[in-house]
Structure 1
Amino acid sequence: MKQVEIEKDECIGCETCVELCPEIFAFNDDENKAYVIMPEGGDEDCINEAMAACPAECITNKDK
């Protein structure tokens, strides 16, 4: 089983992942950072697209 994570220190707050996969990622306006709302993942293609599109390269989808 995989687990999606965002390295918050690396996140630049672009919201690309939130736009691509709103069922997996959300945005914290107070911190100006994205976060994972569904760590167990979901649509692998969507997660892979968000990982590829992330300019900070701070999203991982690792085996748990």
Structure 2
Amino acid sequence: MKIALASPTFPASIADGLASIEQLSKKAALQEAAIICFPDIDPGKATGLLAKRFKNELFF
């Protein structure tokens, strides 16, 4: 059994995050992975808001 470990890039939007997940899923399927493991926090709007908050706290 093949297990794929996915590491999506940090997206600019929910749509970008979903597109990245779709692309990584297709790539894993082409390599015959039975299981795809994604990070425990899927990149998306909430993580984008957190990134802005931390950026402001660290650089201002």
TM-score of the pair, normalised by structure 1 = 0.27
Larger Rg: 2
Higher normalized strand content (fraction of residues): 1
TM-score of the pair, normalised by structure 2 = 0.28
Higher normalized helix content (fraction of residues): 2
